[in-house]
Chain A
Amino acid sequence: MNLKSKDLLGLRDLSAEEISHILETAKTMKLVLASKNKKTPHLQGKSIITLFYENSTRTRLSFELASKYMSASAANISASSSSVSKGETLIDTGKTIDMMGADVIIIRHPMSGAPHLLSKNVSASVINAGDGMNEHPTQALLDMFTIQEKKGRLQGLKVALIGDIYHSRVARSNIWGLLKMGAEVCVAGPATLLPPDIERTGVKVYSTVQEALIEADVVMGLRIQLERQKKGLFPSIREYSKFFGVDDKRLLLAKDDALLLHPGPVNRGVELSSSVVDGESSLINEQVTNGVAIRMALLYLLTRREQH
């Protein structure tokens, strides 16, 4: 089956069938990663450009390696070192890249909607690697892949997202994706960090982390950005971690075989205690590997699509 759109802007736009197809494809890609010779010809002759207006180590490297493992030509543009800092608009930058023959542009941008604007103005496929507070679809896809790999399904699982939901694009993408695949999603965080009317998406909202953790199959910690403290959203990191941090004791509330996820990088001792990060339930390292597999799958599906 073909992905409907030339772009991957968010999980809000994808159907459950498309999500399943991507997860299936990623299974095959993971085998390539596990093999001794990590090289396939699937993207030979294809040009993949990452355009990052925000810092990132793992996501950018993940996309770059995914491209190179599949024999694509890959190049990076980061905002600070380019004409973007000279004030070039997003559309102009995008068109320039497009005109040089890019097949896929992977964009991370601090403002919600930037990938959408870009996609309307380039013929290349646009992958959203994180836009403002809106979506981070490849992260949610790798999270779902990780869960499905261990649990064999997504339907009916209770997934708890804990932390700064308000600012989290990872939370939003996961909410869209997991609900579409039939999981039960709940969120918990300080009242000042819960988005207005979030329950209208279909998630349950809890005001304490304990309530959210009870009988959870999956616990996902979200990063707290330390700068938020200055904006009066919460008084201190210590207070956040005391009331909302996930540690061994709180994790006992979840199911015995509960999975622990985090998009990384973890603020150890803040949203997750170190022992939980390094503990048996933690799949944080698996997530990283799965991230490459998911991105390989997406690049394959999007570039294969244009041949039709």
Chain B
Amino acid sequence: MKTLIKNGHIVDPKTKRNGVYDILIEEGRIKEIGSGFDEAGCDIIDASGMHVLPGLVDAHCHLRDPGYEYKEDIESGTQSAAMGGFTSIACMPNTNPVIDNEAVIKYVMDKGRQEGYVNVFPIGAITKGQKGEELAEIGEMKFAGAVAISDDGKPVKNSSLMKKALQYASMFDIAVISHSEDTDLSEEGVMNEGYRSTIMGLKGIPSAAESVAVAREVLLAEYTRTPVHIAHVSTEQSVDLIRNAKKRGVNVTCETCPHYFSITEDACEGFNTYAKVNPPLRTQRDVEAVIEGLRDGTIDIIATDHAPHHPDEKNVEFSLAASGLVGFETALPLAVTYLVIPGILTMEKLIEKMCVNPSALLGLNKGSLEVGRAADITIVDLNEEYTVDIEKFKSKSKNSPFNGFKLKGAVKYTIVDGVAVVREKVLL
């Protein structure tokens, strides 16, 4: 099977390509990049006027499979990811049962291979059952295919256990992704603590709940001289802490999500549960700090934290509503609209954060368009503006605060192992 992508503008920071080239794909791999290829027997994709990127890699998402298939499963989740231009995704272990042993890792990998529209890589838990008490079998999970470990959804509350987790994981050279939250400080909060929570009469989560925990992780990583990756950074203080730690030479990396560089706590107005997420949407000042962190390289990765929830879990009183937003199908357009078009990030820098760096964190051989590599490619029209319609999402869940937003950067083709799973914005 041969495919030829013609006339697209390739942006590939790893190989330093930034210009119009054709890509010839054969047997699922990139055969050659150049021009003037023989088109006979090729499936031609005309990418004129579009940008051709390495397939996007999501370092943080929730597929809810096994256990919560009513919200999402590996099939629907990967369909949604494909629509968003993601060709590789790493899914968090807060499933039921928790992904804390070899057997569940194998389940996810098998199901991913059989039913996944894109490459699925499981993240194992740090602690058994994510209970925060005993280390999970990290070595076994790594060898079964885990690409990172995390107790995401929860922090590892016991600092001594977290220290041991960092040391133990570094032995296996597997990334530790920390959901940094001091749950005593967040208490019963349901949105960011500040003016908006005050006028809505809702209990707030102070930004300090995140930054206090980030400080702990950074200092532990410094002490143990092992790496740590901070998930979903949302506050000014967190960005500052990480920036300073990096200056000191601490091996810390971090990620943020599109909702933290685009909208604020004001989205909760009217008790909008579709804006309820943890960490919560913050203030404009925090948004600006996150954007600056992306610009100056403090923030390494943009991940989706795609967190599907059933309408029955969102169509309730705000305090009862589940926390989380779906994110696959809006991530790239939000990044293009809020970061690239305003000139904060070049396309190359964006690709670093959405392809190269996540792939490096997870030890994947992805994130670039190199000859011989698997043909995981995303083709996007940066100029096409469209209106987000959550009803059209391929995810089982529609919990997004971006319904009705006008965004630029429509994903036109998503190619995984040389096969176009999304063609002209249509899932195949």
Contact = CB atoms under 8 A, between A and B. Distances in A.
A113 B271 contact: yes
B198 A111 contact: no
Contact of B316 (A117, A195, A197): A117
B198 A112 contact: no
Contact of B271 (A117, A198, A200, A201): A117
Contact of B319 (A112, A198, A200): A112
Interface in B189-216: 193-195, 197-204
Contacts of B316: 89-91, 117
A197 B203 CA distance: 13
A103 interface: no
A196 B315 CA distance: 28
A199 B345 CA distance: 37
B36 interface: no
A190 to B, nearest CB: 16
Interface string A187-198: 000000001111
A114 interface: yes
In this complex, the interface size class of chain B, counting residues with CB under 8 Å from chain A, is 20 to 34
Interface string B374-409: 000000000000000000000000000000000000
Nearest to A176: B199
A30 interface: no
B315 A112 contact: no
B317 A169 contact: no
Contact of B198 (A113, A114, A196): A196
Given A90-B317, A117-B271, A196-B193, A112 B202 contact: yes
Given A90-B316, A132-B319, A113 B200 contact: yes
A132 B194 contact: no
B328 interface: no
Contacts of A109: 317
A241 B172 CA distance: 59
B202 to A, nearest CB: 5
Interface residues of A, number: 24
Given A113-B318, A116-B270, A132 B199 contact: no
A201 B193 CA distance: 15
Interface in B289-335: 312, 315-320
B201 A196 contact: no
Nearest to A134: B201
Contacts of A135: 201
Nearest to A90: B317
A164 to B, nearest CB: 13
Contacts of A134: 200-202
A227 to B, nearest CB: 13
A197 B193 CA distance: 9
Interface of A: 12, 89-91, 109, 111-114, 116-117, 131-135, 169, 172, 195-198, 200-201
12 contacts: A111-B318, A112-B202, A113-B200, A133-B203, A134-B200, A134-B202, A172-B201, A196-B193, A196-B197, A197-B194, A197-B195, A197-B198
Top 5 closest pairs, chain A to chain B, by CB? A134-B201, A113-B271, A133-B201, A197-B195, A195-B198
